Chain A
Amino acid sequence: SQQGEEDPQALSIQEGENATMNCSYKTSINNLQWYRQNSGRGLVHLILIRSNEREKHSGRLRVTLDTSKKSSSLLITASRAADTASYFCATAPIAQGAQKLVFGQGTRLTINP
């Protein structure tokens, strides 16, 4: 069942600005992952944060996880036009063996040049 909620649903910013997307979930998880999807394409894995981690960095990406609030955020710094895509958080519920992914609704990010 769908359990992730993301906000905003759509975000439009100027190139060079930072973009922040938020994700909330409902059940206990093994990890939370963020994926990017360009229009009409498959998903590309960005970053995975485990339930015992609070923050993780990868290049221009910064992810936080607050298990007490069941929420996560993805920050993209110094955005580029090529970052235009949809971004999805996905959780791996412990109850489902941490292999099934449950996706959030997604945030459509548009970077304006």
Chain B
Amino acid sequence: GAVVSQHPSWVICKSGTSVKIECRSLDFQATTMFWYRQFPKQSLMLMATSNEGSKATYEQGVEKDKFLINHASLTLSTLTVTSAHPEDSSFYICSVFTGAGTEAFFGQGTRLTVV
């Protein structure tokens, strides 16, 4: 398996500011990480695929200039929510696969509240 750690667990920020969320794969070198967003009482929606050393791949409808993803090493991917607005308030979760066709390992999630 893989141990995935997210930081911070929760963050409150003011409208217009930017927030960075880190996702670390502690015991597995992940060339690919996935970022999801989950609104209250809803399912997880894939936002983007983070690729180590190259550009992230964004799902349809996700603004790449608003949700900046950097995957600079095999153990760290970051998601920066730029110019955050209250509608960006959500639960953001990252995940890692250890191989195609296997289970995913998730971070504990980050609760973002924009006020």
Contact = CB atoms under 8 A, between A and B. Distances in A.
Q: State whether these chains interact.
A: yes
B100 A103 contact: no
Given A30-B101, A31-B101, A42 B107 contact: yes
User: Chain A, interface size: which category?
Assistant: 20 to 34
A81 B15 CA distance: 39
B100 A106 contact: no
Given A43-B93, A103-B44, A108-B41, A48 B111 contact: no
User: Chain B, interface size: which category?
Assistant: 20 to 34
B41 A42 contact: no
Chain B binding surface, main DSSP class: strand
Given A40-B91, A42-B107, A108-B41, A101 B32 contact: no
Contacts of B97: 99
Interface in A41-100: 41-45, 48, 50, 88, 90, 92, 97-100
B43 A88 contact: yes
Interface in B81-114: 91, 93, 95, 97, 100-109, 111
A43 B91 CA distance: 12
Contact of A2 (B34, B45, B93, B95): B45
A106 B109 contact: no
Nearest to B104: A101
B34 A100 contact: yes
Contacts of B78: none
Contact of A45 (B43, B93, B104): B104
Nearest to A97: B100
B43 A98 contact: no
Contacts of A42: 4, 6, 93, 106-109
14 contacts: A4-B43, A40-B111, A42-B6, A42-B93, A43-B93, A50-B101, A88-B44, A90-B104, A101-B95, A102-B46, A103-B45, A105-B43, A106-B43, A108-B41
Given A98-B100, A103-B45, 10 more contacts: A35-B106, A40-B91, A42-B93, A42-B108, A45-B105, A92-B101, A100-B46, A100-B49, A103-B44, A106-B43
